[in-house]
A and B are shown apart, each in its own frame.
Chain A
Amino acid sequence: MQHYSGFGLLKHSLSHHENWQRAWRNPTPKKKYDVIIIGGGGHGLATAYYLAKAFGVTNVAVIEKGYLGGGNTARNTTIVRSNYLWDEAAHLYEHAMKLWEGLSQDLNYNVMFSQRGVLNLGHTLQDMRDIQRRVNANRLNGIDGEVLDTQQVQEIVPHMDCSANTRYPVLGASWQPRAGVARHDAVAWGYARGADALGVDLIQQTEVIDLLIEDGECVGVKTQRYGDIKADRVGSVAAGNSSVIAKMGGFELPLESHPLQALVSEPIKPILDTVVMSNHVHGYISQSDKGDLVIGAGIDGYNGYGQRGSFPTIEHTLQAILELFPIFSRVRMNRQWGGIVDTCPDACPIISETPVKNLFFNCGWGTGGFKATPGSGHVFAASLAKGEMHPLAKPFSMFRFHSGALIDEHGAAGVAH
């Protein structure tokens, strides 16, 4: 693998950047692998990378029906934070946060991780009580967090309308300084390049059409393009299509796939140097390095696999954003899109064994999977390497919906489900 560096950039500029090595190969799959990962998005690629890098399992294939990082990895609003309420979730997201902090160095790929802080606004007395509770819980778990009052919020975001005259006045916020944003595509590409260099086969344009199951044990997958490919263990990281894969395994997951929309404006001069989220008026906004405002909100209420949603959802989002930032009322929107998010009843993911032996699932990240990409990949890789769940993943078993040990993160998930 070609090492990326400032010097390399200079060297390649002398040849008009025409001789860069391909970032990854485009191999034909072998007949058998130690581990097959279904789904080449951020989480799947991270799983493959850590399997090879941290756990020494290099005979791995990632099978992707489209192109790498073309699903929700390409469609999210790039927010990274770890201020979740319950211990189980907080530990998992903080594990991811710690990996984010060294990720560009680890991958030798600039993922443009920018710890510009995230504000979660409170607009009612109850919001503020919840924020205090959550920040206290975060600090007990070693996660940074502060409760800010209106004045302090106004100082961080001078352009936001924090006056008392608004319909939903800003009473304060929780503030996580270590949180921020990262370049979504770079995360997928960085992991893909890293995994490929360690010997992982990235098989694109290949849809898994069935699972090979013998005596209740998963022994591989059936693909449209290459037929049967065997594997000792199979990990499904198929996000919105997880229910479809589960059906191939003959069981159901407590997931519902919904459209989640987002949009970006035309690029404008720097105006917002942090991330603002509001559960109450329901919208979140940040500004990308390119200058466009990145805006998102809640899911569309109905089930859908169509990667598009309804217009009223977008309209409500922008109403909320304009309530907070009247200054943006003349900004024109550039693009709008939808992804399919697999939501769980308790707004927490499923990282789990399944009723089928040697078949593992990592899904149910719902609206907040991007921030967890490195942590999710790491714990899932550990689980796939050893055949038993990593301690951080154990509470996220799919069987918690039978035992009743749910982890209710609807509050910290930050968007309505």
Chain B
Amino acid sequence: MFHIYCPYCCEYREEEEFHSKGQAHIPRPLNPEACSDEEWGNNLYFRKNPRGLHHELWVHNAGCRKFFNVTRDTVTYEIKEVYKMGEKPSIVAEIKA
């Protein structure tokens, strides 16, 4: 059970007030008409599914109904960071050399 800090309400609330909406930071294609089938498929269906740090979108649907971002560990479930839409995460996974 998560206690999630809503960056708009500025309060910790129980998980039941929120919904997870999957991977965050998915840009829409800049030129949709020029996209190949593969690019569209990737954009629509292929999501990051890391075992470790994951940046994801949550919505406070039983509260302010605003969307925000969460960085969470998918193994320990620990929430590392909560940040507003349009912001960049300060905690990111180390990329293996």
- A residues contacting B by CB (< 8 A) are 241, 243-244, 252-257, 301-306, 308, 310-312, 342, 345, 401-404
A302-B38 in contact (CB<8A): no
Contact with A along B7-47 (1 / 0, CB 8 A): 00000000110011010000000000000011011101111
* A312-B74 contact in complex given A254-B47, A256-B47, A402-B41, C-beta closer than 8 Å: no
Residues of the B chain whose Cβ atoms lie less than 8 Å from the Cβ of A241: 51
> Interface residue count for B (Cβ, 8 Å)?
27
B56-A306 in contact (CB<8A): no
Complex CA gap A244/B74 in Å reads 13
A304-B74 in contact (CB<8A): yes
Name, among A255, A305, A308, the residue most crowded by chain B CB atoms within 10 Å (CB to CB): A305
Residues of the A chain whose Cβ atoms lie less than 8 Å from the Cβ of B60: none
B74-A402 in contact (CB<8A): no
Q: Is the interface of A mostly helix, strand, loop or mixed?
A: loop
A312-B46 in contact (CB<8A): no
Residues of the A chain whose Cβ atoms lie less than 8 Å from the Cβ of B56: 302-303
A401-B20 in contact (CB<8A): no
B37-A243 in contact (CB<8A): no
Number of A-B contacts (CB under 8 A): 67
Complex CA gap A244/B50 in Å reads 7
Complex CA gap A312/B47 in Å reads 25
Complex CA gap A302/B54 in Å reads 10
Residues of the A chain whose Cβ atoms lie less than 8 Å from the Cβ of B1: 310-312
Name, among A244, A254, A303, A345, the residue most crowded by chain B CB atoms within 10 Å (CB to CB): A303
Residues of the A chain whose Cβ atoms lie less than 8 Å from the Cβ of B42: 402
B75 at the interface (CB under 8 A from A): yes
B76 at the interface (CB under 8 A from A): yes
B90 at the interface (CB under 8 A from A): no
B47-A306 in contact (CB<8A): no
Q: Which 3 A-B pairs have the closest CB atoms?
A: A402-B41, A302-B20, A243-B49
A–B Cβ pairs within 8 angstroms, 6 of them: A252-B48, A255-B49, A302-B56, A303-B22, A305-B75, A404-B37
A254-B37 in contact (CB<8A): no
Complex CA gap A255/B40 in Å reads 16
Identify A403's interface contact among B15, B37, B50, CB under 8 A: B37
* A252-B46 contact in complex given A257-B74, A305-B74, A306-B77, C-beta closer than 8 Å: yes
Residues of the B chain whose Cβ atoms lie less than 8 Å from the Cβ of A253: 46, 49
Residues of the B chain whose Cβ atoms lie less than 8 Å from the Cβ of A257: 49, 51, 74
A306-B41 in contact (CB<8A): no
Identify A256's interface contact among B15, B37, B49, B77, CB under 8 A: B49
User: Smallest CB-CB separation from B48: which chain A residue?
Assistant: A252
Residues of the A chain whose Cβ atoms lie less than 8 Å from the Cβ of B51: 241, 243-244, 257, 305
B38-A402 in contact (CB<8A): yes
